[in-house]
Structure 1
């Protein structure tokens, strides 16, 4: 089943409104399925304590959370605790010890208190911590001591406390510092009983002055943990080398980068879906603009584009396997410019450029998985992008076969320059053999592009009824059998057609229509006259007019039939539909005025509709311009002594008549475009029917005759 028959079946099944979206859906599925393998990391079948059979690289950039958390924990644990040193501690503690001696002195001055109540009195006046630190025996010893001994004891304890707390004392150092102070008590100055009391006072007075700061320690550990850089596994980083043992750490890293079969990540599927949706939306907008410009349903062009696009995506996917051959630069043979060149020839340049950008992105992501450098391969993406842009932009003007061959050479040259540029940018050392292979494959890419282009153009023309510039140029060859038929059987019609072609081509180019199509269609538009050539005035070289002996109705039948006879001849010769349509429509539903008024003059009761062409009216800009050019050329040629003023007035009247008669109601020709077309045709006709200069010989001949 041909693509067009398949499309017609789809349209009958689901209707016209949904056909385009079905094509978009199929295109999206092809793109998604071809790219999904590149988005997903390669799964490995490895187990603990296996030996790696090859170097395993990370296909993505990932963070090893477990290793990062372990480093943070180690950093936190290795951070020392924070302590706060209080220099005022010695003064405070001396003051507290002084309070003890003051209380003892106060109680001793109270003569009314007995010895049993004296201890209780001391405890009641001491602070709670001092009362707990001193035993009853110590308090009793201090109460029994002489005032002089108390003063000496106070001075000794104050000095020892000052000396002990002059340095930083932590809880872990407290016992050592207290013992050192006790050992410093002078034995010769104090007795044994007082010494025991002073030991308790020193244990009470000497306290840590360099204490643990919980808040500062917590903050310090948090700062240390947060300062740890995440453990990253970089794209292309070798996780394990060939021959090394698969350890638990290696398995963990393989799982992090998604290379284990037991690890499924849905994110790449979602990301690719978003990418494909973006591409389809962009293409839908492009075809919407194309429809607005052409004014036609674009399903046929969309189907052709979908086939070209899908084939090139499959070609990119297949080209990735060329990297597996390890032949240096073999992937450069990819004829990516083929797709954009065909799109440029059959559709338009803007769509070809947009497609080039898409091909570049797809190639970059598709080749990225093969090179094992991650999702993207910028080198291949850039090569495909520029090569595709060359195919979309280099060809200009009439796309003849020599012009296409020249384009192929330019594409090859462009590809070779891209390869050289990429090698220079990489700043790597290359072997001469590798450079030679790269350039040869890049050159062959352009060669293959042109060979495939020339081979596929007839396929697309036949399958989709598309009309390429090459086909139009071939049809414009004067040696074409149908053109020779017109020349030999209706020479006047042939000359008229050539003039119409010149008028129509220039007018179409002025309004942005297809000038070449208008020219070629004009060559064939009156081929129906070859069936009865002598019934048309331009072919009546002997001056005999057969219509003089026919009724107006019979003459009308002969004249009106020529557009449809011509369409039948063109169909029999399998001519393009666009040319057949213009031949059939070039008179629209206009009135055959001469024979209509002749019938009226003969007193016949006739209707105007009986003398109108059956139509259809012109459907395209090119058909409208050919109709105008045909009418104007015939009318101006029949004028006697045409002058610029007469020509201008005649052309204006024909334009007004066609507008008032509604002949352009079914095509998208605007009034502004009509104005531009009229101006172009007027200038051309004035150039053809210019006034001649009388030469001296002619003047002399007139004088001689006058004599």
Structure 2
């Protein structure tokens, strides 16, 4: 029998593992189906020069290389050629001016020292004067550089020789300054005429005599020359630097390429083709990325469910609850995402916290935290504006904080009003997160925007509360999940079955209350469900209401009917009460966990009193006829109630319960249940059993503590 039991446990464990894996696989498939449209690139059938039927955004971030090249080419072409200005030529020309005027000044000075009159009257035809001027001109040409004498005609030199010294000096300064101004800026070959014109204009606007202006203008034609030459190396470097400074033309993910009603030009068509939304071929790489993400989520979820199954019972009903809760939460997100735009941020109104509130109440807080993270990640994908490869970080952060607020503020899962209190806390957190986004945004928001988005946060919080309170009865009744709310309602004294026990078997009722106190304390000491143990203990002996007077605690002022019955008949009556109770509980549709406790609280124990009484008549009587059919306790709560039921009855029978006697009885019953293999099928460990022993003993000692003996008044 033991090997058969072990085999059954092994098969049950294998089957439980496959059920978990199958549930996680179904959840993963659902995750994939609701998020895959957000990572696939939508394609369009568009012709050039037609009107766009809808606003189209880029699904990817990509460089428009053709536009970048055009921009670079335009920038390079706009770079002007680089020229080098020859300072040597500038200095050379200035030296020519200085040489001409210095030579004339030197000749005039020498002539003056020899007291030779300066050429006579210009209007005279005196041969001597004319001959003197020609000699002077010859001497001037002898001292001037060949470049000057070859380029400047004699008439100009002659006019300069006959000019007055003051006017000559003024002319020199004017010409030198004007030539220096234009040559310092550089004179290219194509700009020589313009430079000469600038110098000529400077001369013409001066106060010099017409003759001197004409002479200086002629001299400027010789002096002004090209001094700026094309520098190929510098030009190439400048163009290279300009090309390097050109920013690539990038089409950002989410950027509007064409708006509804806008004409599809060649340029727009090329951009649509570039981002891949005119291509009929499906890009499956984002799908691979999504699959990897969901696989990681499934690994995390599988681990958490395994941990939950190890620490507590995880049945198909609870797995179904996780599946349906995930469907509800993600379906809500998906529906809202269809109406959400970059302008209308409706994701702030999604009641995402409803799911984790349900999970915390129905299952486990740790699992609720894990699911809140997974839901937030999936929400950031579903609200990405159908831009593959991008995540809506704002939506993800908002969902995470909103759900975590619900988990944190829902402190007492045994109180339905606690959900409303959690709703107030979620409202505050939602508004804080929204305000955070407004402050971090570079956009300017008006006060009405804050009130609108805050209103979304309020809606999200309280719609989460409404959904939680509305869906909780569905999971409790529809799936048969036993929540703390359900247990609390079953523990109320006005429950019909509890009133039935109280009125028909008051002794049993009192016994059940005592067992409930012991079992709850013991279960809480080992991390089991104390509330389940308490409620299960309330109902565990309801089968005694079928024949209440055949149980000693209900025999008040009456004769014990077992005194006149055959031991086997008495044993049959006693043995039937767990199964009668289970039948009553099933008829009244009480949770399976309560029914199982009622059926298992005696396991396959032996009715020793009647068995030994039968042995007095028949020494060959077998124990099987006086043992409960079972099953043995399958859960920690049922095992603890099995122990507490026997302990309470035994201690209550003591006339003077002392600490030593209580400890001895508790130890004896715990050891008896252990040696009788009644605890073999429950997950209770020896360490936990020792803790249960200690807790029951301490609790009973507190109940049956010694009291002060008050003196009685003596009768006179």
Tell me if structure 2 keeps the 8 A contact 1:287–1:298.
no
Does the alignment pair 1:592 with 2:610?
no
- In 2: Cα distance, 1:265 partner to 1:71 partner: 30
Call closer, same or farther: CA 1:557–1:242 in 2, change over 3 Å. closer
Call closer, same or farther: CA 1:263–1:74 in 2, change over 3 Å. farther
Deviates more, 1:237-246 or 1:412-421: 237-246
SS at 2:632 equivalent: coil
- Offset at residue 685 of structure 1 (A): 0.1
Tell me if structure 1 keeps the 8 A contact 2:406–2:425.
no
Deviates more, 1:665-674 or 1:537-546: 537-546
Does the alignment pair 1:690 with 2:705?
yes
Does the alignment pair 1:305 with 2:353?
no
Call closer, same or farther: CA 1:497–1:225 in 2, change over 3 Å. same
SS at 1:397 equivalent: coil
- Offset at residue 35 of structure 1 (A): 1.1
Q: How does 1:193-592 map to 2 (within 5 A)?
A: 230-240=248-258, 246-262=264-280, 264-294=282-312, 296=313, 298-323=315-340, 328=344, 330-369=346-385, 375-426=390-441, 428-592=443-607
Tell me if structure 2 keeps the 8 A contact 1:367–1:377.
yes
Tell me if structure 2 keeps the 8 A contact 1:329–1:437.
no
- Offset at residue 638 of structure 1 (A): 0.4
Tell me if structure 2 keeps the 8 A contact 1:526–1:562.
yes
Q: Which residue of 2 aligns with 1:38?
A: 38
SS at 1:309 equivalent: helix
Deviations along 1:482-514, one digit per CA (max 9) or x if unpaired, are 000111111111111111111111111110000
Q: How does 1:598-613 map to 2 (within 5 A)?
A: 598-613=613-628
- In 1: Cα distance, 2:19 partner to 2:80 partner: 72
- Offset at residue 626 of structure 1 (A): 0.8
Q: Which residue of 1 aligns with 2:106?
A: none
Call closer, same or farther: CA 1:603–1:49 in 2, change over 3 Å. closer
TM-score by length of 2: 0.71
- Offset at residue 416 of structure 1 (A): 2.9
Tell me if structure 2 keeps the 8 A contact 1:63–1:233.
yes
- In 2: Cα distance, 1:80 partner to 1:415 partner: 58
Call closer, same or farther: CA 1:18–1:655 in 2, change over 3 Å. closer
Call closer, same or farther: CA 1:293–1:635 in 2, change over 3 Å. same
- In 2: Cα distance, 1:687 partner to 1:267 partner: 68
- Offset at residue 641 of structure 1 (A): 0.5
| Number of equivalenced pairs | 557
- In 1: Cα distance, 2:239 partner to 2:442 partner: 46
Deviates more, 1:660-669 or 1:432-441: 432-441
- In 2: Cα distance, 1:257 partner to 1:325 partner: 20
Call closer, same or farther: CA 1:425–1:219 in 2, change over 3 Å. closer
- Offset at residue 230 of structure 1 (A): 4.6
- In 1: Cα distance, 2:314 partner to 2:485 partner: 24
Q: Which residue of 1 aligns with 2:63?
A: 63
Tell me if structure 2 keeps the 8 A contact 1:236–1:374.
no
- Offset at residue 19 of structure 1 (A): 4.5
Deviations along 1:673-704, one digit per CA (max 9) or x if unpaired, are 11111111111100010111122x33x65xx7
- In 2: Cα distance, 1:238 partner to 1:329 partner: 18
Deviations along 1:217-246, one digit per CA (max 9) or x if unpaired, are 999999998887654322343445677654
- In 2: Cα distance, 1:218 partner to 1:278 partner: 54
Call closer, same or farther: CA 1:66–1:480 in 2, change over 3 Å. same
- Offset at residue 73 of structure 1 (A): 8.2
Tell me if structure 2 keeps the 8 A contact 1:636–1:647.
yes
- Offset at residue 78 of structure 1 (A): 11
- In 1: Cα distance, 2:333 partner to 2:570 partner: 63
- Offset at residue 325 of structure 1 (A): 11
Tell me if structure 2 keeps the 8 A contact 1:64–1:233.
yes
- In 2: Cα distance, 1:344 partner to 1:384 partner: 17
- In 2: Cα distance, 1:65 partner to 1:16 partner: 57
- In 1: Cα distance, 2:236 partner to 2:327 partner: 61
SS at 2:656 equivalent: coil
Deviations along 1:360-400, one digit per CA (max 9) or x if unpaired, are 11111211116x79722222222211112223332123433
- In 2: Cα distance, 1:625 partner to 1:410 partner: 38
- In 1: Cα distance, 2:402 partner to 2:451 partner: 19
SS at 2:457 equivalent: helix
Tell me if structure 1 keeps the 8 A contact 2:424–2:461.
yes
Q: Which residue of 2 aligns with 1:25?
A: 25
- Offset at residue 467 of structure 1 (A): 0.3
- In 1: Cα distance, 2:240 partner to 2:635 partner: 76
Q: Which residue of 2 aligns with 1:632?
A: 647
- In 1: Cα distance, 2:260 partner to 2:475 partner: 51
| CA RMSD, 1 decimal | 3.4
Tell me if structure 1 keeps the 8 A contact 2:410–2:419.
yes
Call closer, same or farther: CA 1:398–1:224 in 2, change over 3 Å. closer
- In 2: Cα distance, 1:74 partner to 1:330 partner: 44
Tell me if structure 2 keeps the 8 A contact 1:621–1:668.
yes
- In 2: Cα distance, 1:263 partner to 1:247 partner: 23
- In 1: Cα distance, 2:447 partner to 2:246 partner: 47
Call closer, same or farther: CA 1:613–1:55 in 2, change over 3 Å. closer
Q: How does 1:25-174 map to 2 (within 5 A)?
A: 25-50=25-50, 56-68=56-68
- In 2: Cα distance, 1:503 partner to 1:467 partner: 21
- Offset at residue 615 of structure 1 (A): 0.5
The unaligned stretches of length 5 or more in structure 1 are: 1-10, 82-211
Tell me if structure 1 keeps the 8 A contact 2:39–2:388.
no
The unaligned stretches of length 5 or more in structure 2 are: 1-10, 82-231
- Offset at residue 45 of structure 1 (A): 4.1
- Offset at residue 550 of structure 1 (A): 1.1
- Offset at residue 614 of structure 1 (A): 0.7
- In 2: Cα distance, 1:589 partner to 1:264 partner: 65
- Offset at residue 644 of structure 1 (A): 0.4
SS at 1:561 equivalent: helix
- In 1: Cα distance, 2:315 partner to 2:261 partner: 58
- Offset at residue 551 of structure 1 (A): 1.4
Tell me if structure 1 keeps the 8 A contact 2:41–2:388.
no
Tell me if structure 2 keeps the 8 A contact 1:356–1:385.
yes
Deviates more, 1:613-622 or 1:20-29: 20-29
- In 2: Cα distance, 1:573 partner to 1:55 partner: 61
